[in-house]
Amino acid sequence: MSSIATADVGHHGGTDPHADHHHHELGFLQKWVFSTDHKVIGLQYGVTGLSFLFFGFLLMLVMRWQLANPGIAVPVVGGFLRSVFGETVMTDAGALTAAGYNVFGAMHGTIMVFFGIVPVAVAGFGNYVVPLQIGAPDMAFPKLNMASFWCFFTSCVLMMGSFFLKGSAAKSGWTAYPPLAGIADFENGNIWLNGQTMWLIAMVFNITGSLLGSINFITTIIQLRAPGLTWMRLPFFVWAQFVTAFLLVLAFPPLEAAGFMQLTDRVLGTSFFMPTGLVVGQSVAQTWSGGGSPILWQHLFWFLAHPEVYVLILPAIGIVSEIVANNTRKPLYGYKAMVYSVFTLGFLSFIVWAHHMYMTGMGAKVAAFFQVTTIMISVPSVILLTALLLSLWGGSIRFNTPMLFATSFLPMFGLGGLTGIPLAFNAVDLFLHDTYYVIGHFHYVVAPGTIFGLFAGVYFWYPKVTGRKMSEFLGKVHFWGSLLAINGLFFPMFIQGMGGVHRRWYDGGVTYEQLAGPVLHWNKVMTVSAGILALFQLVFIFNFFTSWKFGKKVGRNPWDATTLDWDTPTPPPHGNFDKPIEVFRGPYEYSVPGYHADFHPQTSRD
């Protein structure tokens, strides 16, 4: 390490011009596994998270089969699933059991939220792109970054391992509501090695990893911006990640505390969430002292889980903003308004959580408070969406694959958001609570919303990571197929929900035929759509791996973009930049009149 100048260059340029001198050849483990480089960690998070997204999707496919064909063996893979997941989950014939449906439901939710979307959207894209976009050589705390990933990885191993415990994985929903979660999974007599306890332990690791990562993001964005990169010159994606990181730092710890409490309820017999006189089986349970409150868990859980919704959506909005600006060849409409909106959104998201709890018997005053804040939060959301929509106005839009996903994000997220407004009113919510309407609402936000945003991001930054573009043709096949199938999957949920179909019926509503009969045939439509959706994801997987080897080679800036991430070599080397970085202008100077090109990079001086 002879390079004195690079050690603490500080404001003179957050770059490392001597990066190439440090090519000590280390082994595979240090390059790819125990790496402290933000790009490798971003890839680790991204690949792990994408794998979990597909795994969570597969769980859902089995559930959807069960809902459309209750009690009938899963075709082709039924026997295989029986041998993998065991007798709790699958019957000998290969059909999903009731307990199995609960396992898959709980794990689908947990995996999609905490092991899929957050790792990909926040930790994956955030880690890879944020330091590049702010002109930093790495994250502020590279070792902490590595620790964050390994905490997350530990939680993955524990969570997946819990499938193989006696009695299988957690069955109490991703919300783990006590008292049911407090008494679940004790059948095998082991207080530690059972699904729900393992769920809690895994979540504690997951949360710790998230906290370490978020602290790193905030510090990096504040401390390591390149010279000249003032706050209002930051790409919107960085703003979105900044606010997201704050949500995680401040909202996750109460859930970690609640996780400890439920853990002690389960292993030490405390009663944080276990009420007095709880009847388990035939008699009053003596295992708990009593005096606890299940409502307390709901408060602490939703104190995280509502901001978590914005953790899921904000990075996707950030990605979409980058792609929209780049492909309309125009600045974002109302950049500053978007920045202020994203802050307002972040702030308000902390004081709306009890709208998930209208059914717990809260009084009119409190319900009114949460109704008002919930309606208020739709204002910044609508500003964000409107700004993106207006950004399209009058642009000569390039409809490449990333842009297709990004544009479809707007109506899809809009549908998810607008269907949420009725749920904000507690009178309406009393009717719709726990129906498929709610499922439809939040799936529109996170599936054709966030996940489409993530796909857009994968297609957009893939060339930067690998040096090759993904196939446009396969990308378009993937997009149109997914768009149609995903609407076939989620739109009928609104119809079913208003018809009264409850989200936890494991037989697809057959038992409640008299109540829900007229809407049950939609189950078949949704299940077929889910199958088609799965087929089109195979196209993506194929495209993802083959393009790595055979995709079209690209240079530094294949999209003619302005931000700093396109000002690095492709792929970026260790230390990221091959020249000192200084920023002279805002992030989206496209089609500037009088400039010789239609994009004006942030580093360009003239």
Of the candidates 59, 285, 281, the residue with the CA atom closest to the CA atom of residue 169: 59
Tokens describing residue 267:
């292993």
Please report, as residue ranges, which positions from 187 to 226 form the binding site for another protein (by CB under 8 A). Answer: 211, 214-216, 218-219, 222-224
Residue 419 contacts residue 444 (beta carbons within 8 Å): yes
Distances, alpha carbon 165 to alpha carbons 110, 156, 160, 168, 188, in Å: 17, 15, 10, 5, 9
Identified binder of another protein from the candidate list 47, 54, 91, 141, rule CB under 8 A = 141
- Contact indicator for 424, 379 with CB cutoff of 8 Å: no
171 binds another protein (CB under 8 A): no
How many residues of this chain bind another protein (CB under 8 A)?
A: 100
Among 154, 280, 299, 495, binds another protein (CB under 8 A): 299
> Contacting another protein (CB under 8 A), which of 354, 489, 561, 583?
354
CA atoms within 13 A on the CB side of 64: 23
Q: Around Cβ 188, how many Cβ atoms within 10 Å? A: 12
With contact defined as beta carbons under 8 Å apart, do 238 and 226 qualify?
no
The answer to whether the CB of 436 falls within 8 A of the CB of 519 is no
Measured from the CB of residue 122, what is the shortest distance to another protein in angstroms?
Answer: 15
Q: At what angle do helices 335-348 and 236-267 cross, to 10 degrees?
A: 10
Complex with another protein: residue 354 or 520, whichever CB lies closer? 354
Beta carbon of residue 444, minimum distance to another protein (angstroms, whole number): 28
CB nearer another protein, residue 105 or residue 292: 292
Q: Is 22 in the site for another protein (CB under 8 A)?
A: yes
> Which part of the chain contacts another protein (CB under 8 A), choosing from 33-41, 71-79, 170-178, 375-383?
33-41
* Residues in 82-121 at the binding interface with another protein, rule: CB under 8 A: none
Our CB check for another protein shows the closer of 182 and 497 to be 182
Residue 424 one-letter amino acid: A
**In the complex with another protein, which residue's Cβ is closer, 376 or 484?**
376
Whether residue 461 contacts residue 128, with contact meaning beta carbons closer than 8 Å, is answered with yes
Among positions 526-545, residues that touch another protein (CB under 8 A) are none
Residue closer to another protein, measured from CB, 39 or 108 = 39
Query: Measured from the CB atom, is 26 or 232 closer to another protein?
Result: 26
Among residues 374, 576, 602, 603, which is the contact residue for another protein, using CB under 8 A?
Answer: 576
Residue of 393, 327, 394, 381 lying closest to 349 (CA atoms): 381
Could you give the CA distance from residue 311 to residue 241 in angstroms, rounded to a whole number? 9
Element spanning 283, H or E: strand 283-284
Beta-strand runs (E) in 94-217: none
Applying CB under 8 A, which of residues 91, 293, 378, 487 lies at the interface with another protein?
293
Binding mask 243-272 for another protein (x = CB under 8 A): ---x--xxxxxxxxxx-xx--x---xxxxx
Instruction: Please identify which residue in 281, 361, 593, 594 interacts with another protein, judged by CB under 8 A.
Output: 361
3-state secondary structure of 139: coil
Site for another protein in 544-573 (CB under 8 A): 548, 569-573
DSSP 3-state of 157? helix
Shortest Cβ distance from residue 545 to another protein (Å)?
Answer: 13
Of the candidate spans 147-155, 180-188, 287-295, 513-521, the one that interacts with another protein by CB under 8 A turns out to be 287-295
